[in-house]
Structure 1
Amino acid sequence: MDNWTVCPPNATVCEGDSCIVPESDFNAILSVVMSTVLTILLALVMFSMGCNVELHKFLGHLKRPWGIVVGFLCQFGIMPLTGFILSVAFGILPVQAVVVLIQGCCPGGTASNILAYWVDGDMDLSVSMTTCSTLLALGMMPLCLFIYTKMWVDSGTIVIPYDSIGTSLVALVIPVSIGMYVNHRWPQKAKIILKIGSIAGAILIVLIAVVGGILYQSAWIIEPKLWIIGTIYPIAGYGLGFFLARIAGQPWYRCRTVALETGLQNTQLCSTIVQLSFSPEDLNLVFTFPLIYSIFQIVFAAILLGAYVAYKKCHRKNNTELQEKTDNEVEPRSSFQETNKGFQLDEK
């Protein structure tokens, strides 16, 4: 008994000067519960977003996929290249550079559909772009990673979770398809569902960011260069996506849609790939980067949304004032009218 010391109540093995405290499974349980709840909520939100999609317009984008092609060039052209340039410019470690590139090669996330609604974007284009990019990611992700990561690591060591991509595709297509059917059969009810779902979607985006911060709060100590890259990367995605769409001759509301689809990447997929591809030692260096990107892509999207809402209100106010001024203007009366009051001009 002399070799035993007094240990805290939650210690199970205590000998000599050391006490071994069992690891808490709180995070594991919370992760499973929140993942299930968020998946269900996300499916419901995508169902509501589908209530704003018209089938003939959606099929029109697939038949004449100019907007989808622009989005494809942004997501699998601009984003991987930007990640490569940032990795080289900041001189980060090879494993860190690979994670930055994995993030850039991921398809668009469903958050882009929610925000496209709030900025009066083209919902039909947004949903079709998200669907097509998720489907094309099955081939484009390995290709882009092979091209850009071979100077740092053998791309064969990166595990592409095709099952997760397939699950994301199913979780997107089925709820949206049901929403499109509801919009076709009951358009008035679809409008009510859309309003509720858009508010729920905004809350869900914030909730995902908060949950990620709670679950992985111990991993926030990371190299400052990754913080800087995680800040610049989504801004570059929004800006380059917008300007490329504008150069391609797309109207403003579609430019906003393409910008959001480019900057808002599927960070959950990136986290899955990172966990499957790297050792625990490497994960300590890079695991937080998808979370950093996720937070800043939401922050800047919220700033862009606020700027757009302010612009819309200001523009509406100016138009109202101009209309009132025009309505209040009195047409000048000629001297002939003043002299001959019995004669009135025929307004017709």
Structure 2
Amino acid sequence: MDWKERNSSKGQQFNIANYTVDFGNVSNSFNATSPENSGSSPLQVAAKIVLMLVLLVIMFSVGCQIDVKDLFAHLRRPFGIVIGAVAQFVLLPLLAFGAGHALQLPPLQALGMLVMSCCPGGSTSNIFTYWVDGDVPLSVSMTTINTALAAGMLPLNLWIYGGSWSATTAAIPYRNIAEAFALVVFPAAAGILLRWKRPKLAAVLIKVGSVCAALSIVLTEALMFALYPRMFFVTWRIYVAVILLPTVAYVLGYVFAWIVRMESPQRRTVSMETAVQNFPLCMTLLALSYPKEQLGEIAIYPLLFGCFILVESILFVAGFRLKEWINRRSQKGVEEKQRMFFLNGDCQKKEEKEKEKEKADSIEKEKETWKMENEKDNVTVYA
């Protein structure tokens, strides 16, 4: 019994025969090209152009946040970069391998999850790192280094773990890895240069990039729903994997950084870089490596991941901002109590000084009175 018959026997509403028609050009919508498809819909072409421009603006604004000294400090002592690479290329593929077997996912769906977990972080993690007050220079360094390392670590991880579900050798999209590397490095470098030359203008562009990033998230979610609405008609096991795996990656990335005693901003950065992968790169790899009849099922997890990781990252940011707001309120309350305490202490001291002054004045008056009485007595005796 093949996988289509298994799905229908379980009463699932997912019809892959109708679904794979759109999958050939999935990567075209997200800055990737499939050799098996020559055409793209107007919506896909528009999505590609808009998202490309937004990505350039975002990475340029990310570069505007980076101080050259901080960047070179991470490159000279790449401890955080190494920790991030280990979390990205060792912990996460192992987690995906274990989750695929624990949830007993169909082979192609499990393979899609494995491929997604083996991909490096993308530019999305950089902007979310900024939103959680993380270490942006470390984030950009990790994204750049991990993208370069993916040329070797991606096929290695697929060779180690992929044999459980497929004998197909994945075609590594080295060209797209190089493009992803360039899209991170060059706009960020331009932003760094602008911060060095025009820091005030860079501060303004940081806000512009943040707004563009927020709009791009809304646009990406809308495009995912518009282009691939049927991807949501899948088994509950996929939903568990899509929600659970990034959540565990967030936690493990943070805990791993905490174990090695990294500072709180660096811990949040490693957590974000571990959980957020380069979705377009994953879709390109799948389009280059697997035939159309398999691409529909194998791309289910990456497509759902592309939607849910944005939602989970937004919740991560919202949780952090809520925690910061509570801390600020608590700190403000503590400062107010301290101010009142010192104010009350000052009032008490002032009252004590006034009493002491009154007492001293009273003693001085008594002395004056006693002196005047003595002088009168002396005058009387003399007379």
TM range (shorter): 0.7 to 0.9
**Counterpart in 2 of 1:204?**
216
Find the partner of 1:141 among 136, 154, 164.
154
Find the partner of 1:340 among 356, 361, 379.
356
Distance 1:109 1:343 in 2: 75
Q: CA-to-partner distance for each residue in 1:47-94, whole Å, 9 max, x for gaps?
A: 011000111211111110111011001100111000000011011222
Unpaired runs of 5+ in structure 2?
1-20, 26-38, 361-383
Distance 1:318 1:220 in 2: 42
- Which amino acid is the alignment partner of residue 300 of structure 2? T
Cα offset, 1:27, TM superposition: 6.5
Change (3 A) 1:232 1:76: same
Distance 1:284 1:308 in 2: 36
- Which amino acid is the alignment partner of residue 315 of structure 1? N
2:125 pairs with 1:119: no
Cα offset, 1:154, TM superposition: 2.6
Distance 2:311 2:76 in 1: 34
Secondary structure, counterpart of 1:150 in structure 2 = helix
Q: Percent identity?
A: 33
Distance 1:343 1:295 in 2: 77
Distance 2:218 2:359 in 1: 68
Q: TM-score, with normalisation over the residues of structure 1?
A: 0.87
Q: CA-to-partner distance for each residue in 1:148-187, whole Å, 9 max, x for gaps?
A: 112322352x111111111011111110000000000111
2:180 pairs with 1:168: yes
| C-alpha contact (below 8 Å) 1:27/1:215 kept by paired residues | no
**Counterpart in 1 of 2:41?**
28
- Which amino acid is the alignment partner of residue 233 of structure 2? I
Change (3 A) 1:327 1:216: same
- Which amino acid is the alignment partner of residue 110 of structure 2? A
Cα offset, 1:288, TM superposition: 2.4
2:328 pairs with 1:316: yes
Distance 2:351 2:41 in 1: 88
- Which amino acid is the alignment partner of residue 49 of structure 2? T
Distance 2:230 2:72 in 1: 46
- Which amino acid is the alignment partner of residue 169 of structure 1? F
| C-alpha contact (below 8 Å) 2:135/2:266 kept by paired residues | yes
Distance 2:44 2:353 in 1: 82
Change (3 A) 1:328 1:267: same
**Counterpart in 2 of 1:19?**
none
Between 1:221-230 and 1:304-313, the stretch displaced more is 221-230
Distance 2:135 2:74 in 1: 11
Find the partner of 1:277 among 263, 284, 289.
289
- Which amino acid is the alignment partner of residue 143 of structure 2? T
**Counterpart in 1 of 2:368?**
none
Q: CA-to-partner distance for each residue in 1:10-56, whole Å, 9 max, x for gaps?
A: xxxxxxxxxxxxx9999722112211111111111110110001112
Q: CA-to-partner distance for each residue in 1:324-344, whole Å, 9 max, x for gaps?
A: 222222114499746422699
Distance 2:351 2:263 in 1: 49
Between 1:296-305 and 1:101-110, the stretch displaced more is 296-305
Structure having the higher helix fraction is 2
Distance 2:226 2:84 in 1: 33
| C-alpha contact (below 8 Å) 2:111/2:298 kept by paired residues | no
Cα offset, 1:206, TM superposition: 2.3
Find the partner of 1:68 among 78, 81, 102.
81
Find the partner of 2:99 among 86, 89, 104.
86
Change (3 A) 1:253 1:343: farther
Q: CA-to-partner distance for each residue in 1:199-236, whole Å, 9 max, x for gaps?
A: 21122122112212211223433333222211111111
Change (3 A) 1:155 1:59: farther
2:316 pairs with 1:286: no
- RMSD between superposed Cα atoms in Å: 2.1
Distance 2:290 2:239 in 1: 20
Distance 1:222 1:171 in 2: 33
| C-alpha contact (below 8 Å) 1:337/1:343 kept by paired residues | no
Distance 1:227 1:339 in 2: 75
Distance 2:307 2:133 in 1: 23
Change (3 A) 1:336 1:204: closer
Q: Which runs of 4+ in 1 moved over 6 A?
A: 23-27
| C-alpha contact (below 8 Å) 1:119/1:308 kept by paired residues | yes
Distance 2:301 2:352 in 1: 79
Between 1:200-209 and 1:238-247, the stretch displaced more is 200-209
Q: TM-score, with normalisation over the residues of structure 2?
A: 0.80
**Counterpart in 2 of 1:18?**
none
| C-alpha contact (below 8 Å) 2:231/2:304 kept by paired residues | no
| C-alpha contact (below 8 Å) 1:121/1:257 kept by paired residues | yes
| C-alpha contact (below 8 Å) 1:115/1:260 kept by paired residues | yes
Secondary structure, counterpart of 1:341 in structure 2 = helix
| C-alpha contact (below 8 Å) 2:57/2:212 kept by paired residues | no
**Counterpart in 1 of 2:109?**
96
Alignment of 1:186-265 (within 5 A): 186-265=198-277
